[in-house]
């Protein structure tokens, strides 16, 4: 059975995330074990200062644990070395995720025989757009 990891903040959980988890499982094939690595609120503030968070790290973990397509939720402690220590076979990431840190992790995956899959975005759904829309509509 393959173990698949994916990263994210998942602050505004929506249908696109649910579809992401389903797509990962269908792209890898069953049976597989899906581990979601969640960024802490502190990590988000370090990498994107001033970001408004809707939910705490604990609340986001609780929501992700409730999704049956996810087998395990792990907190990302701001260290790709830590993630590299997780026993996994496949790294799944969004087709639009291209940060320098992820590109470095891609390189590490290739050098260490890990498969990388790029998952498609759910058309018309983005957390940042939803958050902006809510804020705009409230004011």
Query: What is the set of domains in the chain, with CATH numbers?
Result: 2-138 (3.40.50.620)
Dihedral over Cα of 84, 86, 91, 93: its sign: negative
**Per-residue pLDDT tens for 70-93?**
999 998 766 566 676 788 999 998
Sole residue written with tokens 């790294």: 91
pTM of the model: 0.82
Query: What's the Cα-to-Cα distance from 2 to each of 20, 65, 79, 90, 134, rounded to whole Å?
Result: 17, 20, 23, 7, 38
pLDDT at 1: 92
Per-residue pLDDT, 129: 59
Return per-residue pLDDT of the chain as tens, 139 residues: 999 999 888 888 888 889 899 999 999 988 999 999 998 888 888 888 888 888 999 999 999 999 999 999 998 766 566 676 788 999 998 776 667 777 788 888 899 999 999 988 766 555 565 566 655 555 4
Answer for the pair 12, 127: CB distance below 8 angstroms, yes or no.
Answer: yes
H, E, C per residue of 40-83: CHHHHHHHCCCCCCCCCHHHHHHHHHCCCCCCEEEEECCCHHHH
Give the model's pLDDT for residue 67. 95
């Amino acid at each position: 059975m393959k173990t698949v990891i994916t990263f994210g903040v998942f602050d505004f959980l929506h249908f696109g995330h649910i579809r992401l988890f389903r797509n990962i499982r269908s792209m890898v094939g069953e049976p597989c074990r899906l581990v979601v690595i969640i960024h802490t609120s502190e990590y988000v503030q370090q990498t994107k200062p001033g970001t408004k968070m809707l939910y705490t790290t604990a609340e986001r973990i609780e929501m992700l644990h409730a999704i049956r397509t996810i087998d395990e939720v792990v907190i990302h402690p701001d260290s790709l070395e830590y993630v590299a220590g997780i026993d996994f076979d496949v790294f799944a990431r969004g087709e639009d995720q291209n940060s320098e840190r992820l590109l470095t992790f891609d390189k590490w995956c290739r050098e260490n025989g890990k498969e990388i899959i790029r998952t498609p975005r759910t058309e018309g759904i983005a957390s940042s757009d939803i958050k902006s829309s809510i804020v705009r509509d409230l004011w």
